[in-house]
Amino acid sequence: MRFSRGVITIAIIVVVLAVGVSVGLYHLLKRAPLAQPPEAFCSVTTPDGVRTLLPEQAQIAATIAAVAARRGLPERAVVIAYATAMQESKIQNLEFGDRDSVGVFQQRSSQGWGTKKQLMDPVYATNKFFAALVKVRNYRKIPLAEAAQAVQRSAGGYAYAPHETDAKILAAAFTGRVPKAVHCWYPPGKSPVPLPKTAEARKQLARALGSTAITTKKRGWLVAAWSVAHAEKYALTKVGYNGATWVNDFEAAGWRQGGAAGARKVELA
């Protein structure tokens, strides 16, 4: 079958136009920003795995690690606390529970843990949990479920054990042992953008951690993780430490190398 030169020319033009449109569309889509999720989220990344948390869960996890550091407790204590909180409340500060149980650890006023108002304060509740945990003989060495059950005296003490792996991943991140492990993002909101509440953030950190002085890099990364976890609450858009920077950027995979922050202070903005 033979075609005239005109038909062949038109066919070539159509093909060229199609290719051009395809290439243009590809580059346009490539430059287009990714769709942002409607709600904030946090992620924890360590060599042992990745876990996603709600901002409230990340804030409570960071608070538990800070209280443990203030009390000079080992990472094992944090792991036990996390596994307990996962089972009792999914690491949330619940206003309800079985009978008069409330809070992160579902502690009961009738059992002498404190008033409901006190138990709804994660710093207070965590201090009460650790005060009981350190009284458990060999809590660092016995199975996690036994240690948690000795504190909680739950009807189903066996249920704490399945959370141990997740608890270890979170503990490695929020205690600061694994640097740059905590990343969060929250919707920027409408204009005007609120000013960062850096003074309030440091005040609340001090309430859980005690002194906010950075004495070791591990402690510095604990403070950095706490700050990122609380970024939405205190309108923080940037956290810097030890030559790395977190920014509230949905397309950022996590911490970026660079920035003026040194190893002696966690910079907030």
pLDDT at 40 over 80: yes
DSSP codes joined into one string, the chain = ----HHHHHHHHHHHHHHHHHHHHHHHHHHHSPPPPPSS-EEEEEETTEEEEE-HHHHHHHHHHHHHHHHTT--HHHHHHHHHHHHHHHSS--BS--STTEEBTTTEEGGGTS--HHHHTSHHHHHHHHHHHHTTSTTTTTS-HHHHHHHHH--TTGGGGGGGHHHHHHHHHHHTSSSTT-EEEE----SSSPPPP-HHHHHHHHHHHHS-----SHHHHHHHHHHHHHTTTTTT--EEEETTEEEE--TT--S-EE--S--SS--EE-
pLDDT at 9 over 80: no
pLDDT tens sequence across 198-244? 999 999 999 999 999 999 999 999 999 999 999 999 999 999 999 99
Q: How confident is the model at residue 14 (pLDDT cuts 50, 70, 90)?
A: very low
- What pLDDT score was predicted for residue 190? 66
pLDDT tens sequence across 257-268? 999 999 999 999
> How many Å apart are CA 180 and CA 186, to the nearest integer?
18
268 or 12, greater pLDDT: 268
Q: What is the mean pLDDT of residues 123-142?
A: 98
